[in-house]
Structure 1
């Protein structure tokens, strides 16, 4: 069983959190919601789901987790400017563990400076940012590059979830 951190803040894309989170739990893994602070309520931008942070970003260590999932929407913008979030993602990457981001999720990877020399995809609106961060951008439903898994939009969720579960097994 893997322990998976879901990085979350207000304004995340509802299905990009709910579907991978539910799939990870259904596969028997532990899913932990890491927010900007413990107990913070994180609401989806469409209002269909909300979650409470199990732990704050300043309290987590890479050694305690096997993977990180970063849903898209507006949340990655709030997450990427938090030093504790960026430190955590850098440490998880240094350990070679899975980091999966969909839609705007790769914004956190950009701020953690972990895309250089990797292949990646994202929501088209941040495509140039992904390229400028040193990634070889691919317009594909899911891109797996070493320990990173990236996808573009909610329609890519089945492929995104499939690759996350494959990496965890």
Structure 2
């Protein structure tokens, strides 16, 4: 049965993570909806890992994507799951009360919550990592542990109805877990 998936990102979101999520959901017969602060074309970027660098780099602008839903208009009852994309967007999205309320409500009502890379920052802001085992980009793990979560070095981690992943390099493990979860409900 097709699931309605709310994919959340914004300007500075990771291009590959965004498009991979959209395509995988469509490929599996699900109905993705891309939400951002406003309905418009988003400026996504490509992040990469360079040998010898202490952190990731932004290579260049990535493929853009058009948000078909403004976050203020997103309603938890209209979706079966939420997927929080990484990149730079979660740095500012985590300060949006409407997004935090939406994610909290989805978690509280037993809906699936997925986050990859910096998407975990939204889960931290929503108080959803305390006493949970999660994973994320390694330079964000201190936010997880300070919020009472346990960081795992695994590529993808499931804790209840929350599934998290480290980076776009985690796509195989992450989407294997995500698709299995969506088949469960």
Determine if contact 2:13/2:85 at 8 Å carries over to the other structure.
yes
What is the Cα deviation at residue 48 of structure 1? 2.7
Q: What does the per-residue CA deviation read over 1:110-151, in whole Å, with 9 as the maximum and x for residues that have no partner?
A: 111111111101101110101111211111110000011111
Q: What does the per-residue CA deviation read over 1:81-125, in whole Å, with 9 as the maximum and x for residues that have no partner?
A: 111111111111111111111110100001111111111011011
5+ residue gaps in structure 2?
Answer: 47-60
Partner residue of 1:148 out of 162, 165, 185: 162
The residue number in structure 1 matching 2:91 is: 77
The residue number in structure 1 matching 2:30 is: 29
CA distance in 2, matches of 1:4, 1:80: 19
CA distance in 1, matches of 2:66, 2:96: 18
Q: What does the per-residue CA deviation read over 1:52-94, in whole Å, with 9 as the maximum and x for residues that have no partner?
A: 1111111111111000111111011121111111111111111
Higher Cα radius of gyration:
2
Q: What does the per-residue CA deviation read over 1:9-42, in whole Å, with 9 as the maximum and x for residues that have no partner?
A: 01111111111220011100000011112x2221
The DSSP-based 3-state class of the residue aligned with 2:110 is coil
The residue number in structure 1 matching 2:12 is: 11
Give the number of aligned pairs: 168
Matches within 5 A, 1:30-49: 30-37=31-38, 39-46=39-46, 47-49=61-63
The DSSP-based 3-state class of the residue aligned with 1:134 is coil
TM-score, structure 1 as length reference = 0.96
CA distance in 2, matches of 1:123, 1:158: 16
TM superposition outliers: structure 1 runs of 4+ over 6 Å: none
TM-score, structure 2 as length reference = 0.88
The DSSP-based 3-state class of the residue aligned with 1:149 is strand
